[in-house]
Every structure is written in structure tokens, then in C-alpha cells.
Amino acid sequence: MRKHAILRGLAALTVLSLAACAPAPATGEPATQAPETEAPPTAKTQIRWFVGLGTGTDPEQQPVQEQVVADFNASHPNIELVLEVVPYDAARDALSTQIAAGNGPDIVGPVGWSGSNAYYGEWLDIGPFIESTGYDTTQFSQELVSFYQTEEGQVGLPFAVFPAAVFYQRSMFDEAGLNYPPASYGETYVWPDGTEAEWNYDTLAEVARQLTVDVNGFNSTEAGFDREQIVQVGYVAQWQHPNHIGSFWGAAKVYDENNNAGIPDAWAAAWRWWFDGIWGEQPFVPTGALSGSPEFGNDNVFNSGKAAMAITHMWYTCCLADAGSDWDLAALPAYQGEVHGRVDADTFRVWKGTQHPAEAFEVLSYLIGPAAEQLLPTYGGMPARAGEIDAFFLVKSEEYPFVTNWDVMKAGLAYPDNPSGEGYMPNWNEAWNRIETFGNLLLNDGTVDFDAELQKLEDELTLIFQS
């Protein structure tokens, strides 16, 4: 009887599997692999486009990317472009595995500096192809083009630039009776009683304190403020790595000619300000636990509608669909009298080990050329071509009709971080990781000795740089 039971069980399993096999394209796939490889020698060159190191992994972005691929394939009979989208969290592992096995993709992107530097030395010098195809680089500003000229050659071309600005929620300022942050660079901040102050990080902190509110409505400057029950924060360094936080106070290199680490004074000041903002007497920045909670958007704090201000880049428009219909943009604050901004730049890179560099370059020029019109809005990227910027913002205004101040974004282009906060460091991956650990420590533990940890960071970075 039990034997029959097993037989029945196995029979059921086989039937189920056959049922699964029958109509499904799932088993069809391996079968259709064969015909493709058996195709005549004049078959298309396959170019693999790997998405995941930067933006491009959102469900809403998929149809756009797939349409671009379809359009390209229709207009380029000699190339078959294949899209590979890997979720952001797993993208680096997947890419590393492919590269290590010698099976890397042909094109990677959109990818910024941090993604590219994680694979420093892996990118093809496309200079020869620019020359041989006569590609016109004058359509971009030469400053941007030289951005991508490293010792390895011309490793990229400008595609999307993402200046930064202060994103803020108007309604929160209204509720507190405060004036909005300055709309353009050079303006001062006006307090309700009429006094003016320079728009710098100290002023921002004071404003943010008034906008950090607990469940009973007290802000963090008032007695009776309960820091355990914060329902709104004044400021969040949205998705910023400590290098970013520091660069907004002053762009600098952290290593010298001898590969000794030296934390720039501006960065130390920025981090101290930030640490104090989280754990000080009058906090205005959320702790790690708070910003990581579902109520605060799992680290996407501004999107959850709980932050009055955030400093981040143009690409953030990809991800603030839930932030409401009342946010706007303002100018970045100054440090020691000067505004130090950051400009992120994403582009597509060709992997050094590609078997088809010429075709890869063809795809690349398509992506940053004709396809840019479709891709840039979905990535939230400002066009690198000056002539297209206005058209881009027209699209953005339709998307966010309530935003009045796109100009400050355009103005932000004038404040790039040079050297980039994501720029080259010796042993980049380990160094970036170590600094991130430092940031996490500050975010999650208020009892640490800031100066001791800073010194430890510097010492360990020296070891990393010199190893």
C-alpha cells in the first residue's frame, strides 16, 4: 500500500513537471538557445548591457530601457543588444563573478564614479574609437569631457550630470512659521523676525532644529522635547556616504603623494557637525535606527515625508514619488563663506575585456545620443549637452508641476567637487568601505569618542592606502 503511495506520489510529480513543461516558454528557452547559436556566420554580434551599478533597476524604468533596446535592435541589424538588469544590492557580486570568469558584459551603465572606481582599471579606453568613427565630442562641454580622461585614456563620455540642491518641504516650513531657504546662490536667509543670516551650515542647523518635532509638537530647541518620539526631522543627509558629506563642505583628496591618509579639516568639521546633529542636545538629524525604520522609509527618509530638508542630487527625483506635492529646491549652504557643491555624473562604460569593442562603442554612442532623450528622464539625469537642458527641465516640470525652482539645480552645475568625493583612492574598495564603516558608527552609536574614532580612521586608512 505504501509502495502504491510512493508510486502515486512520483506519478503526480512527473505529471506536474510535464504540465509545467508543456505550454511554458520556460522550457522553450533552452530549446531556442540552440537555433540562435546555429545561425549562419553572418549572425549579429551580441552586446550585453549590464544595468545595476547605478540607477536603472526600478520597475518603472524597465519598460523604458526595454524600449530603447528594441529600438536599437530594429535600427541596427548587425548588432543584437541584450539587456541584463540585476538588483542594486546584488549587482556588484554578479558583475564581479562575471568579470572574474572572463565573461564580463560589454557595456555597463548607467554608472557613476563610485561604481566605476570599484572596478578601477577595468574600463576600455574608447579614445581610439572616438577617433576612428569621428565622433563629435564638441557637443559636450570640454570640461565634462576631460572629466573622463584618466591615465587609462578616455574612459567615458558625458551622459548625465546630477547637480545637487537642498530639497525641502514647503508645508513643514509653513507650519513652523519659517521662511523658505534661499532660492538662489548669494541670497541670505531671512528669519521670521526679519533678521538676516548667511545661508551656511550653522544657519541650516538652526532652521533644522526648529523643524525637528516630536509627537507632541515640541521642536528640539524647546524644553519637553522627547528625542525618543521624533516624528519629523529637520535635515537628513539623504543616502550620503561620509565622503559626500565631507565634499559638500570642501572637495579634497584624502591621500598625499606618499599614500598617507589625511582627513581634510573641512571633512572633519562636516562629520562633527553631522554627529552632533544626531546625538547632541538639540538633534536635527535622524539616528540610524530611526532612518532605517519602515516609518521613515527604510533609509529613504525624504521620500517618506518625514524630513524637512535633504541635500541630494538631481537623480533623487527617481525616488521621491511619495514625498508629496509640496516640495521644492533651494540653494546649497556655504562653509566658511564659500559654497562647495557636488556634481554626480553617470555614464556608460565599456568593459576592457569585451570581444567586440567597435560594436560596443556603437551601442554606447547610441545610448548617450539618440536614446538619451528616453533614458535621461527616467534616470532623472540632466543632459550633458547644454542645448538639451531646457527641454529636459520642461519634461521635469510636467512631472512635478509644483516645483518652482529648477533654476537652482542648473546653477548647481557651477559647483562641482573637484576632486570628486567618489574619486580615486588607493585600494579604493577597502578605503571606501572603511570610511563607510566610520559613518555607520557615527550614525548608530552616540557614545563613541568622535576624535578617537577619527584618528583611528586616519591611521587605518594609511594602512589601507599603503598596502
Partner 1 sequence: MAPTPRQLRKGLRAGIWTTLALGILGLFLSPFLFMVFTSLKTPEQIWLIGAPIWPAAPAYFEYEGRQLEVFTVPLPDGTTADLAILRKGRQESVFVDPHNLEAGEIVWQGSWRALDRPWQFSPTWSNYADVWRLIDFPQILRNTTFYAIMSEIGVLISCTLVAFGFSRFRFPGRDALFILMISTIFLPATVTLIPTYTFFTKINWVGTWLPLIVPAFFANAYDVFLLRQYFMTLPRELDESAMIDGAGPLRILWSVILPQSWPAVIAVSVFHIVYAWNDYFGPLIYLSTKQDLLPISVALSRFNGIYGQQPQLIQAGALMALIIPLILFFVAQRFFMQGVVITGVEK
Partner 2 sequence: MLGQIRRPRLPSLDALRRLTPLGRREMRWGLIFLSPWLIGFLVFTLIPMIATLVFSVLDLQITHGILNPARFVGSENYQRAFGDTQAAKSLWITVRFGLIALPVGILLPLGLALLMNSANVRGKVFLRAMFYMPFIVPFVAAVFLWGGMLNPETGWINRALVELGVARGDLPQWANDVNWVYPTYVIMGIWGIGNAMLIMLAGLQAVPTELYDAAKVDGAGPMQSFRNVTFPMISPVIFYNVTLSMIGLFQYFLVPLVVNQGTGRPGGATMFYNLYLYKTFFTFQNMSYGATLAWILFLVILAVTLVLFATARFWVFYAGQNR
Interface contacts to partner 2, rule CB under 8 A = 92-93, 96, 99-102, 119, 121-122, 228-229, 287-290, 292-296, 298, 353, 427, 429-430, 433, 436-437, 440-441, 444-445
Cα 142 from Cα 140, distance rounded (Å) = 6
DSSP state string for 298-336: TT-TGGGT-EEEEEEEGGGGGS-TTS-S-EEEEPPPEET
**Residue 51 · residue 84 · CB < 8 Å:** yes
Q: In angstroms, what is the minimal distance from the CB of 441 to partner 2?
A: 7
Q: What is the x/- site pattern for partner 1, positions 81-100, by CB under 8 A? A: -xxxxxxxxx--xx--xx-x
CB of 170 to partner 1, least distance (A): 12
Report whether 427 contacts 465 (CB < 8 A): yes
Q: Which of 74, 101, 223, 452 binds partner 1 (CB under 8 A)?
A: 101
How far from each other are the two terminal CA atoms of the chain, in whole angstroms?
Answer: 69
Residue 175 sits in the site that holds partner 1 (CB under 8 A): yes
Residue number with CB closer to partner 2 (98 or 200): 98
Query: CA 246 to CA 262: how far, in whole Å?
Result: 13
State the nearest-atom distance from the C-beta of 451 to partner 2, in Å. Answer: 18
- Smallest distance, partner 1 to C-beta of residue 17, A: 4
Structural contact between residues 383 and 389, judged by C-beta atoms closer than 8 angstroms: yes
Q: Is 463 in the site for partner 1 (CB under 8 A)?
A: no
Cross-strand bridge partners of residue 213: 219, 232
For the CB of residue 162, give the shortest distance to partner 1 in the complex, in Å.
Answer: 13
**Residue-by-residue DSSP string for 126-141:** -HHHHHHHT--GGGS-
Among 11, 21, 43, 463, the residue binding partner 1 under the rule CB under 8 A is 21
**Is residue 9 involved in binding partner 1 (CB under 8 A)?**
yes
Size of the chain, expressed as the number of residues it contains: 467
Q: With CB cut-offs between 5 and 8 Å by kind, which of partner 2, partner 1, none does residue 349 bind?
A: none
Instruction: With CA atoms as reference, report the closest residue to 349 among 66, 111, 133.
Output: 111
Residue 102 touches partner 1, criterion: CB under 8 A: yes
Query: Choosing among partner 2, partner 1, none, which partner's interface includes residue 445 (Cβ < 5 to 8 Å by kind)?
Result: partner 2
Query: 3-state SS of the chain: helix, strand, coil percent to 5?
Result: 45, 15, 35
In 10 A of CB 427, how many CB atoms? 18
| Cβ within 8 Å of residue 213, ≥6 positions away | 219, 220, 230, 231, 232
Q: Helix (H, G, I), strand (E, B), or coil: what is residue 123? A: strand
Backbone angles phi, psi at 409, to 5 degrees: -65, -50
Q: How near is the Cβ of 408 to partner 1 at its closest, in Å?
A: 23
Q: Which does residue 6 bind out of partner 2, partner 1, none, counting CB within 5 to 8 angstroms by kind?
A: partner 1
Alpha carbon 80 to its chain centroid, in Å, reads: 29
User: How buried is residue 250: exposed, middle or buried, by Cβ count under 10 Å (0-12/13-18/19+)?
Assistant: middle
State in angstroms the smallest separation of the CB of 312 from partner 2: 19
Q: Does 2 bind partner 1 (CB under 8 A)?
A: yes
Q: Which does 92 bind (CB under 5 to 8 A by kind): partner 2, partner 1, none?
A: partner 2
What mask of x and - would describe binding to partner 1 in positions 212 to 241, judged by CB under 8 A?
-xxxxxxx-----------x-------x--
CB of 183 to partner 1, least distance (A): 22
User: In the complex, what is the shortest distance from the CB of residue 115 to partner 2, in angstroms, rounded to a whole number?
Assistant: 13
- Residues found near partner 1 in the complex (CB under 8 A): 2-3, 5-6, 9-10, 13-14, 16-17, 20-21, 24-27, 29-30, 33, 37, 48, 55, 57-60, 82-90, 93-94, 97-98, 100-103, 171, 174-177, 213-219, 231, 239, 294-298, 300, 304-306, 318-319, 321-322
